[in-house]
Structure 1
Amino acid sequence: MGLDATAWVAIAFVLFVIAVFKPAKNAILSGLDAKIDEIKAQVEEAQDLREEAEGLLATYQRQQREALQEAEEMVTRAEEDAQRLRTEAEKSLEEALKRQEELAAEKIAQAEAAAVARVQELAVDLAVAATEKILSERLTGKPGKDLVDEAIEELPTKLQ
């Protein structure tokens, strides 16, 4: 049984392909394994980065919520402080107005008392002057002397 050249070429080609395929297969598989490992590493890195990004996002969202809450609390405290200050200012103004009103009423009362005292002084001065004039006109001569003597006699009874 003899093989012709075409058969030998086919056999040689198959042996060549088998001989070349085994080392090429190992090289191709090791290259693919390396590429798979590289892709796995990139996927793991991407997952780590994603987890880190999600953590940062959650942190920033929490910080934003806290900042908003703090800002709202600050606004609330500022409004309360403003209301308290407004109330205190109104109370202080009310007290100041009341003190001014009391002071004005006191000054008016003092002025009235001074006016009444002055009028009384003038009335007394006028009465004394009128009495002096009347007495000086009536107590001259004999009738005046009789009147003075009579008053002196009545004096001890009036003093008792």
Structure 2
Amino acid sequence: MDATFFALVGLVLFLALLAYLKVPGMMAKSLDARADKIRDELAEAKRLREEAQHLLAEYQRKRKEAEAEAAAIVSAAEREAASLTAEAKQKTEEFIARRNALSEQKIKQAESEAVNAVRSAAVDLAIAAAEKVLVKKADDGVQQALFNASVSEVKSRLN
């Protein structure tokens, strides 16, 4: 009996002890439980992946809708800006036309006032010159007759 025999006996006893304590069944049960756990984790991972894909598709759809809405808003803003620009241009042109017309009217009025002032000054000058001429050439009798004629003419025009 050498050492290999005792090693063989020890091995057989060890295997018998393992069989008596049902270690292979516990190991199989443990491996089966671990396989079930891994299978459940894989199923959960698959479910989570499908859910993530569904969420991704939903977010992509929402992103496309948001992009379309943003494009519509930009388009509406561009149309409104163009409308406001055209309206502002039209109002500016109308304002300029009114200002030009008002300026032309003021120029005509100033021109008319200047012509009237010149006429008035010419009339005043002519009256003063006529008065000087009449004073030099007319005597008291002629002056009195002219004065009376002028007064009667004024009276007749006032009535």
Deviates more, 1:34-43 or 1:85-94: 34-43
Identify the residue that residue 117 of structure 2 maps to in structure 1: 121
Q: Structure 1, residues 72-92: CA drift from partner, whole Å, max 9, x if none?
A: 111211221222122123212
Identify the residue that residue 58 of structure 1 maps to in structure 2: 54
Identify the residue that residue 80 of structure 1 maps to in structure 2: 76
Report the alpha carbon displacement of residue 138 of structure 1 after superposing the two structures with TM.
Answer: 4.3
Provide the rounded CA distance (Å) in 2 between the counterparts of 1:158 and 1:131. 17
Identify the residue that residue 133 of structure 1 maps to in structure 2: 129
Normalised TM-score (structure 2): 0.66
Sequence identity, in percent?
7
* 1:6-45 correspondence runs (5 A): 39=35, 41-45=37-41
Provide the rounded CA distance (Å) in 1 between the counterparts of 2:125 and 2:39. 126
Residue among 136, 145, 156 paired with 1:150: 145
Larger Rg: 1
Provide the rounded CA distance (Å) in 1 between the counterparts of 2:79 and 2:153. 79
Identify the residue that residue 104 of structure 1 maps to in structure 2: 100
Q: Which amino acid aligns with 2:79?
A: Q
Total equivalences in the alignment: 136
**Structure 1 residues 31 and 141, CA, compared in 2 at 3 Å: closer, same or farther?**
closer
Q: Which amino acid aligns with 2:126?
A: A
Deviates more, 1:54-63 or 1:71-80: 71-80
**Structure 1 residues 157 and 107, CA, compared in 2 at 3 Å: closer, same or farther?**
closer
Root-mean-square deviation (CA, aligned residues, Å) is 3.1
| Segments of 4+ moved more than 4 angstroms | 26-41
Identify the residue that residue 9 of structure 2 maps to in structure 1: none
Deviates more, 1:65-74 or 1:39-48: 39-48
Q: Structure 1, residues 102-144: CA drift from partner, whole Å, max 9, x if none?
A: 12221221111111110111122123223432443344234x5
Q: Which amino acid aligns with 1:102?
A: R
SS of equivalent residue, structure 2 residue 136:
coil
Deviates more, 1:144-153 or 1:57-66: 144-153
**Structure 1 residues 92 and 106, CA, compared in 2 at 3 Å: closer, same or farther?**
same
Answer yes or no: is 1:71 the counterpart of 2:67: yes
**Structure 1 residues 157 and 68, CA, compared in 2 at 3 Å: closer, same or farther?**
closer
Stretches of structure 2 lacking an aligned partner (at least 5 in a row): 1-18
Q: Which amino acid aligns with 1:110?
A: K
